[in-house]
Amino acid sequence: MDTVSFTSMAAGTREDYELLGRLEAEFAAGTADRVLEQLGGLAGSLAGYRVDRLEHSLQCATRAWRDHAGEEMVVAALLHDIGDLLSPHNHSELAAAVLRPYVSERTYWIVRQHGLFQGYYYAHHSGGDRNARDRYREHPWYQDAVDFCHRWDQPSFDPDYESLPLEFFEPMVRRVFAREPFRRAGGEDG
């Protein structure tokens, strides 16, 4: 197997970094597989709810699909809680970071904020501020995040809802993660 010649990055050559570029591109091509594997890890989780996190995610994506959302948003709905296993206290930020290189700023923002916006439905029951989302009321995507939570996220805990299977969404996930990463302002990749 090819390896670089250096033991510190400062000592790398053009050839080393060309090799790494090729190998990293091959690794990046498998991102959809790893994301789908992580999504499968949501099965059996979400104690106390009537559905597990995987079913919740499938319901959310199915609702988005049936609501004629674009493919990018359907994938975002499917993956919006993928951060729950590793980072339950800021899962929205983790899910958004996974999606960010491949989705629009609007989709990234909605996924990143969905946890705060979802609090509208329960925060007041546990001493929180259900209207915390209102600090973004003037944001151009505020209503989009409200709609994401209202139409797709919050009603997707129903054991009787007929979700589409994960296999239905796999081609969409693969297409989104096959996109050339967006170049962000300031020259940063997502």
pLDDT for the residue numbered 46: 77
Tell me if 46 sits within 8 A of 53, measured CB to CB: yes
pLDDT for the residue numbered 187: 42
Q: Would you say residue 18 has pLDDT above 80? A: yes
Tell me if 159 sits within 8 A of 51, measured CB to CB: yes
Please tell me the distance from the alpha carbon of residue 80 to that of residue 84, in angstroms, as a whole number.
9
pLDDT for the residue numbered 1: 64
Helix axes 166-177, 71-79, angle to 10 degrees: 110
> Which superfamily is assigned to 14-183 in CATH?
Hypothetical protein af1432 (1.10.3210.10)
The per-residue pLDDT for range 90-142, each reduced to its tens digit, is: 999 999 999 999 999 999 999 999 999 999 999 999 999 999 999 999 999 99
The per-residue pLDDT for range 128-143, each reduced to its tens digit, is: 999 999 999 999 999 9
pTM for the complete prediction? 0.91
pLDDT for the residue numbered 185: 53
pLDDT for the residue numbered 85: 87
Which residue ranges make up each domain of the chain?
A: 14-183
Phi and psi at residue 183, to the nearest 5°: -95, 125
The per-residue pLDDT for range 138-190, each reduced to its tens digit, is: 999 999 999 999 999 999 999 999 999 999 999 999 999 999 887 655 444 43
pLDDT for the residue numbered 137: 98
